[in-house]
Amino acid sequence: MPAPLAADRPDEIMRVEQKSATQAIETNLAPGRAREVLRALWRSKTFVIGLAIVLFWVLDAIFWPLFVPYDPEGLVSPTTLQPPSAEHFFGTDDLGRDIFSRTLAGARPTLTVAPLATAIGVAGGILVGLFTGYFRGIADDIVMRIVDALLAFPLIIIAVLVISILGPSITNVILVIGIVFTPIVARTVRSAVLVERQREYVAAAKLLGNSNLYIMFAEILPNITGPIAVEITIRLGYAIFTSATLSFLALGIQQPSPDWGLTISIGRVFLQTAPSEVLFPAAALATLIVGVNLIADGLRQVLEE
């Protein structure tokens, strides 16, 4: 092999070779793709750290009433805007509520809104993606152009627009985020379907006389779970962020909920004098989003291998 090309080619060859070598082993020895993926995930530091963070907040969202020192919505201290102390670990807010309790309790609204919104978006996206990708044709063209148009706007603009028409409420926030996510997920699903529908097993399924619905949901869907899983984790991160933003803009969850976005919004007035009210919920929000994104990265790395 000539050297100038060899300089960049050996790596590639090695990779290909390595891949074929490991694949050869896989077919002989592997105990199954699913178990293989799980084991690889367990070895992925990114994934494990992300999972630990998210698990912490999920457990907290479920069990906080068991261990918060004060009622998060109760006016527990006559002294407002206290700095952190032994009595109030994170201090008190502008109304004399315990910030530590509120921060721990604030995980619940966020972890209610975001997964539900993601579920709606993913379910809608799978439906739209499967149908457009499988049938193609004019319907596909029209839906995809609508998706393009939606993607041209920043997500938050559309959400703000819709909420200001429908009025702020938790249900509306969930619905809006879910609907805005649908076309984004649909794109991912559609491109996976486009690859899968060319495979011979789909042709064979048609020749057996399977209905289109059966082919879409029983034949194709199980084989695109990888990209869908990655998409779910990415969307979850965005959903947390978007719901916090809407709360911050007072378009989402309303007072006196300890929701992080809402608390940050109220506390920002006192940012210079008493930063605790912003700092702790913001840190909590950041760790959760980072955790979800670490899961997404780990998952993508493992599945793309």
| Contacts with other proteins, residue ranges (CB under 8 A) | 1-7, 9-10, 13-15, 17-18, 20-22, 24-30, 32-33, 199-201, 203-210, 219, 222-223
Distance in Å, CB of 30 to other proteins, minimum:
7
Distance in Å, CB of 228 to other proteins, minimum:
13
How many of the other CB atoms lie within 10 Å of CB of 147?
20
How many of the other CB atoms lie within 10 Å of CB of 76?
17
First to last CA, the chain: 28
Specify the residue, 138 or 165, whose C-beta has the smaller distance to other proteins.
Answer: 138
Distance in Å, CB of 303 to other proteins, minimum:
14
Distance in Å, CB of 297 to other proteins, minimum:
22
Specify the residue, 79 or 225, whose C-beta has the smaller distance to other proteins.
Answer: 225
Task: State the Cα–Cα distance between residues 90 and 273, nearest whole angstrom.
Answer: 14
Task: State the Cα–Cα distance between residues 233 and 228, nearest whole angstrom.
Answer: 9
Distance in Å, CB of 128 to other proteins, minimum:
22
Phi, psi of 92 (to 5 degrees): -120, 160
User: Tokens 């599945």 correspond to what residue?
Assistant: 303
Distance in Å, CB of 38 to other proteins, minimum:
14
Given a contact cutoff of 8 angstroms between Cβ atoms, the answer to whether 82 and 100 are in contact is no
107-135 and 45-67 helices, crossing angle to 10°: 130
Structure tokens at 11: 């790596």
Task: State the Cα–Cα distance between residues 270 and 280, nearest whole angstrom.
Answer: 14
User: Tokens 């919920």 correspond to what residue?
Assistant: 281
Task: State the Cα–Cα distance between residues 281 and 109, nearest whole angstrom.
Answer: 13
Distance in Å, CB of 184 to other proteins, minimum:
25
Structure tokens at 155: 């997500």
Task: State the Cα–Cα distance between residues 245 and 160, nearest whole angstrom.
Answer: 10
Specify the residue, 155 or 215, whose C-beta has the smaller distance to other proteins.
Answer: 215
Specify the residue, 41 or 253, whose C-beta has the smaller distance to other proteins.
Answer: 41
Specify the residue, 11 or 66, whose C-beta has the smaller distance to other proteins.
Answer: 11
Task: State the Cα–Cα distance between residues 230 and 72, nearest whole angstrom.
Answer: 35
Specify the residue, 147 or 215, whose C-beta has the smaller distance to other proteins.
Answer: 215
Specify the residue, 12 or 154, whose C-beta has the smaller distance to other proteins.
Answer: 12
Specify the residue, 155 or 192, whose C-beta has the smaller distance to other proteins.
Answer: 192
Distance in Å, CB of 19 to other proteins, minimum:
9
